Amino acid sequence: MRDAATDKAQIRRLLHDQIEAIWGAGRCELVDANYADDVVDHMPVPGQPTGREALKDVVAAFRTALPDLRMTLHGTIACGDRGVDFWTLEGTHLGELFGTPPTGRPVRFSGIDMIGVRDGRIRDLWHVEEMLHFHRQLGLDDAAFGTPTAAAPAPPDATYDPGSGARVPDPAALTEREQRNLALARRHIEELWAKGRLELASEIYAPDVVDRNPAPGQRPGVDGITDVLAWLRESVPDLRMRIEEYVVDGDLAADRWVMTGTHDGAPLMGLPARGRRFTINGMDVVRFGADGRITDVWHAEEFAQLRAQIV
């Protein structure tokens, strides 16, 4: 019988292979070895077919367009049958990529992946990349994200429970510290972000918290993070989030969510409000300090898709 330590080691190997070997070194033969025949990419590139060959094609497309592509793996999380990695991709855009001709520009953007493992192979894959940052670096979009404002009031609906359907780890499989961190991670995303309770920011974040993936022009520290939330809530007063899943490992926790809303408030990403609805996915990874406050945040949102939906 396999033990939890063995399962965690196997998941970490799959995550390292995914980022460092397959994407970083172009070893696409590992796709067949590491992914199930019926692997499901739950967030495919638009027009991408399903299956392992499609995954190989996406890797090949990026590595052809960015021949000096480099991947930096910042960390991994393993919990139960789930794994999470968070990374940064760098390279020079020297070839066509999904219809965009080469620009010769350097690019750098980050992303987060979540995998579901069965029988030693990846069966499910969720991933979000900072494509808005990528587009800006290619000169396709240079609009500011938003303008700092006072946050809109939190939704008054007392029945709104953004985490009620979330998949959570088995508490019996978590240490006491991990159980604490899961509760804190839920408070972070469900209360501060989903309900807009900005007054909790100083309790949830360490004073010197570092946002590892800041928005363009974002201020450092707690103020910068709450600026982004204020921008969103001023632009999208009916913003709602549905938390899909949590994964916890030591002092790291990850979440996966869906955000919906109507852009009928302040301008967003340089665009005036036209009353258009949007739905996007996102993921977060946070690190907790000894006092239970968040010291580091990595996050990726489909803001490029949001912009496309509100144009």
Condensed to tens digits (0 to 9), the pLDDT of residues 178-191 reads 999 999 999 999 99
Domain co-membership, 128 together with 256: no
Position 180 in a domain = yes
Domain co-membership, 13 together with 131: yes
**Tokens (6 digits) for 249:** 């490992």
Position 146 in a domain = no
Cβ-based neighbour number of residue 244 at 10 Å: 19
Domain co-membership, 116 together with 52: yes
CATH number at 264 reads 3.10.450.50
Task: Assess whether pLDDT exceeds 60 at residue 141.
Answer: yes
Domain co-membership, 130 together with 175: no
Position 73 in a domain = yes
What is the per-residue pLDDT for 144? 55
Position 143 in a domain = no
Please give the residue range of the domain that contains residue 290. Answer: 171-310
Domain co-membership, 185 together with 285: yes
From 116, 137, 158, the end of a domain falls on 137
Task: Assess whether pLDDT exceeds 60 at residue 150.
Answer: no
pLDDT digits (tens, 9 = 90+) for 93-120: 999 988 889 999 999 999 999 999 999 9
Write down the H helix ranges in 250-293.
Answer: none
* Residue 21 to residue 228: CA distance in whole angstroms: 34
Position 66 in a domain = yes
Domain co-membership, 99 together with 213: no
Percentage of the residues of the chain whose pLDDT score is greater than 70: 93
* Residue 78 to residue 95: CA distance in whole angstroms: 35
Domain co-membership, 180 together with 265: yes
| pTM more than 0.75 | yes
Q: Are strands 121-129 and 106-118 parallel, antiparallel or unpaired?
A: antiparallel
Domain co-membership, 9 together with 103: yes
Position 90 in a domain = yes
Position 166 in a domain = no
Domain co-membership, 17 together with 120: yes
Number of domains present in the structure of the chain: 2
